[in-house]
Amino acid sequence: DTEVTQTPKHLVMGMTNKKSLKCEQHMGHRAMYWYKQKAKKPPELMFVYSYEKLSINESVPSRFSPECPNSSLLNLHLHALQPEDSALYLCASSQFLGQGGETQYFGPGTRLLVL
Amino acid sequence: QKEVEQNSGPLSVPEGAIASLNCTYSDRGSQSFFWYRQYSGKSPELIMFIYSNGDKEDGRFTAQLNKASQYVSLLIRDSQPSDSATYLCAAARPSYDKVIFGPGTSLSVIP
């Protein structure tokens, strides 16, 4: 089973709203990732968690706040977003961060529209 | 120079033909390489990964790696219209802390 689930599938929010994206995997993977993808562009890495600790933050604006409550769950909290933040937000997981464990499996994504 | 480069396409092949997708990478220390397929509006789906020089076959797909030339390719035999998608090549950095994606190649299989 290589399933990563994400909720919600679609989200529309205003610039003053607070919302959260959720990601879950039950493959025992210890590395989890958030990516942002704009149309016709490759996924752009935002955050990496390894063993529930933030390992990489790709200089993402503070209006995006990640959280890893346990080894199966990854959240992305959104606050005061801008219209240019509208994109497909992808969660991925891999066995671990390191050689041999870096094969990533993606969830279906959350399509976010900021009005 | 981008770390992972691909022809953006679109690449058009007739149904039943072999589609050849190419990728080059700049960091000679990269060891692990991945091919993902992404349909419009969907998330990337892993097709193949390859670590060793040479060919790796899985059904209609063959990945080829040449570390000396810093080149990775994906061959799709007996192409089907359902193979029409964007194909993303990715390379793991030598530090293995992240995977770098290429811009993707759009493939169109014409019935």
pLDDT at A2: 66
Contact assignment for A102 to B99 by CB distance below 8 Å = yes
- Tell whether A109 lies on the interface with B, counting CB pairs under 8 A: yes
Check A104 against B104: CB less than 8 A apart.
Answer: no
Q: Are A91 and A4 in contact (CB under 8 A)?
A: yes
pLDDT tens series, chain A, 115 aa: 669 999 999 999 999 999 999 999 999 999 999 999 999 999 999 999 999 999 999 999 999 999 999 999 999 999 999 999 999 999 999 999 988 889 999 999 999 999 9
d(CA A89, CA A44): 9
Q: How far apart are the first and last CA of chain A?
A: 37
A104/B31 touch (CB, cutoff 8 Å), yes or no: no
What's the pLDDT score for residue A93? 97
- Do A48 and B98 make contact, defined as CB atoms within 8 angstroms? yes
- The model's confidence at residue B53, banded by pLDDT at 50, 70 and 90, is very high
**B39 part of contact set with chain A, CB < 8 Å:** no
